[in-house]
Amino acid sequence: MDHLLPIEHKMGRFNMSKRQLQAYILMTIILLAVVTLTILNYHSTEKFMTEKVKSELTELLHNFSDETNKFTIERVAELELIADYVAFLENDQEIIQFLNQQREKMPFFTSINFISIDGEVLTNSGSLYKMEHQESFERALLGETVFSELFPSYEDPTKLVTAVRMPVIKNDQTVGVISGVLNMGSVLGAIARDSNLPGTLYLLKENELVYTTSDINFEEKIPNGFSILKQIQENKQGTFVIDENIAHFVMYQRAGDNWTVVVDSSTVEMEKQISFIFWRNVLIVVFTILVLCGILLFIRRIELREDKMLKRDLLTHLPNRVLLEEQLNKDLNQQKYKKFTLFFINLDRFKDINERNGYQLGDRVLYEICRKIQTFVGKNELFRIGGDELVFLVPSHSDQELISIGNGLIKLMEEPIELSTFESAIVTCSIGIRKSELGDWPDLMMQDATFAVHEAKKLGGNRSVFFSQELGNQNERVRLIANHFVHALANQEYYMVYQPVYELSKKQITSYEALLRWESPIIGPVSPAEFIPLLEESDLIIPVGKWILRQVATQIKQWEEEGQSDFQVATNISVKQMMHPDFFKDVKTIIHETMVSPHQLVFEITETVAVQNSRLATQILTELNELGVQTSLDDFGTGYSSLSILKLLPIQQLKVDRSFIVEMEQDKDKSLVILQGILDIAKNLGLSTVMEGVETQEQLQLLKNMGVQKVQGYLISRPVVAELAIELRKKKWTY
């Protein structure tokens, strides 16, 4: 029965967690990759724009500076020509007319004036006023070409202008000064309008702002503007990094006589562009996170659906053992413990329905049974935990009420299941009832309930059995044996004993039966009836059986070396051992390696061998006989085909089961007739007979009168170790 609840489910949950962990790791890697690439992209774009802005600012700054220098030189050259020509004019009217003509040809000058030696200014428009800026005038009289300080324009006092002044020389004497008034802001503004200026332009003359393309003052727009202006005045050119993240720089360069061109890269468009790049990258990251979250939610949804499917039986849609484990863990929690009772239901002989009618009909029967039981248990949830195994839990009740529930279910199962108009089926069940106790755990309850079910089946099925302390002790011993027998062979815990077989005609022991015993250092002595079936079920009977054959052969050889001969040793051979493809080869190998005579070996088999595969059994027994090994049919009379297999199998000996002796004492007439018939058949077939279970002299005398050849039992000797067994041959027998 499959009742170890946690194992597969824990493995399933482990795989699920592992898959989820792998998904999280993969999503994290993708997210980190996207974030990293986005950051790198943002920084590379920002760096590119920064370098581009720097490059453009540098180029434009040089252009402005070059244009300023070029413009200044050209204006100076033009004024020199005007000064040379004015020197030859005779009166003010000619000077005014000439200056007006030049003003029209040279729109860069806001006005062109002639200043007499005594400081009177004659404009090209004919106006006359007293000159105010003496310093540049006096320097021009001394022969220099001078740019004056900034002063309000005569035509538009809101604009600051400067004047280029140089002397007018006639006959090697200075007769006046030519003054060309310039608005440098208008000039640079025209240059700025024709360019793709990435920012704001400022034109400074000494500490005065001559022109700007912005409505905001430099000191207000630029952080630490006053400090930067001071540094600009102290150096010819340079760059100030205001904020590299938004490509905000201030670059300046000296041009001409005390002219400084300053360019501020900050613009609303630039900030918008960089902000757009930043938020675009943020949006990419957010979008990636949303997509990954969506994928994770999708994976989680699949996992929840799979988890739900894992907790439901596909055929009956009942909760399965996974949910049962969860429910048991919840109910057995010490902090939230509540008393309940577990009913473990196992259908009787349901395997026969599947084999007889097919699995499709078997599934239909199972579905109907589950539906019927579900109706019976009502609100108490029913679990299907195996092929034909069901469990339901009920709250705490008295023992009498629990027995009533079990009996009601047994009675319910006796009602036929209608499969069609002409077909019906009756399926009974065995029920194990286990009441919960504080400190229980799911595995223990399921194992105990399973053991109670086994006990119900031993009693014939179609009944319920309470798990008791007595059953618990048995169950605990079964668990101990099951946990330790696996390593008994490797730990050398097995040993052999030998039970003598007494031959009546010779009045001596002529053979032995080799029997396996187990002395566990933890459990103590273990009965063969307890561990031999476990060896058969687990297939460990193959290596253990091989070990037994080698031990017996070695013991026979040792007895021969001690002077004992003319005897045989019988060994029990299991069905699985005999049907193993290497069995005959192993027998030959052991005989060859131990150098024992094959005629001293007798292999005892049960009639189950013939029932399972008579052709293969006959072939193997024949090969053993040809090798020299004799064969015996053990436990004769307990099966269903005892008489028929006597002519099928090539055997030399018949061992009659001890049950005949017990029955012979209870019902002498019939049992004596049957036993006498068996002995006569064996004699006529040329088979020697061994009678098992002889315990009294009366039994021995009766068997002797019936013609039994050999006897085995406690009257002769119990199974003993090899040293004592061989000593029994030396004893003088009187039977």
Determine the topology of domain 1-310 in CATH: Beta-Lactamase (3.30.450)
Q: What is the CA radius of gyration of the chain?
A: 59
Neighbour count for residue 391 (Cβ, 10 Å): 28
Mean pLDDT confidence for 108-112 = 84
Contacts with 86 (C-beta within 8 Å, 6 or more apart), sequence order: 95, 98, 99, 114, 168, 176, 178
* Alpha carbon distance 614, 610 (integer Å): 4
What element of type H or E holds 518? strand 508-520
Band (pLDDT 50/70/90 cuts) for residue 585 is: very high
Domain ranges of the chain: 1-310, 321-467, 483-657+711-730
Q: Is the pLDDT of residue 590 over 90?
A: yes
Give me the mean pLDDT over the 128-149 stretch. Answer: 83
CATH 3.50.50.60 fits 483-657+711-730, yes or no: no
Strands 601-605 and 630-636: parallel
Residue 715 host element (H or E):
none
DSSP label of 416: P
The counts of H helices and E strands in the chain are 23, 28
Q: What one-character-per-residue DSSP string does 655-706 give?
A: EE-THHHHHHHHSHHHHHHHHHHHHHHHHHTT-EEEEE---SHHHHHHHHHH
Report the pLDDT averaged over residues 28-38: 80
Of residues 316 and 687, more confidence is placed in 687
Pick the range with the lowest mean pLDDT from 108-112, 261-265, 407-411, 417-421.
417-421
Least confident of 110-114, 378-382, 650-654: 378-382
Residues 6+ apart with CB under 8 A from 80: 145, 166
The C-alpha atoms of residue 190 and residue 180 are separated, in whole angstroms, by 19
How confident is the model over 495-524, as a mean pLDDT? 94
| Position 1 confidence tier, pLDDT thresholds 50, 70, 90 | very low
The full DSSP string for 133-178 is -HHHHHHHHTT--EEPPPEE-SS-TTSEEEEEEEEEEETTEEEEEE
Rounded (10°) CA dihedral 148, 149, 154, 156: 130
Q: Which CATH number fits domain 321-467: 3.30.70.270, 3.40.50.1370, 3.40.50.620, 3.10.105.10?
A: 3.30.70.270
Largest CA distance in the chain: 184
Residue 16 has pLDDT above 70, yes or no: no
pLDDT tens figures, 417-443:
877 667 777 889 999 999 998 888 898
**How far is CA 375 from its chain centroid?**
40
Antiparallel, parallel or unpaired: β 340-347 and 259-264: unpaired
Q: Are strands 417-418 and 160-170 parallel, antiparallel or unpaired?
A: unpaired
Residue 689: CA atoms inside 13 Å, Cβ hemisphere, count? 25
pLDDT at 374 over 60: yes
With a cut of 70, say whether residue 189 has pLDDT above it.
Answer: no
Label residue 379 by pLDDT band (50, 70, 90).
Answer: confident
Q: What is the pLDDT of residue 10?
A: 43
Is this model's pTM higher than 0.85 or not? no
- Tell me: pLDDT of 75 over 60: yes
Q: Are strands 389-395 and 494-503 parallel, antiparallel or unpaired?
A: unpaired
SS3 710: strand
Average pLDDT, the chain: 83
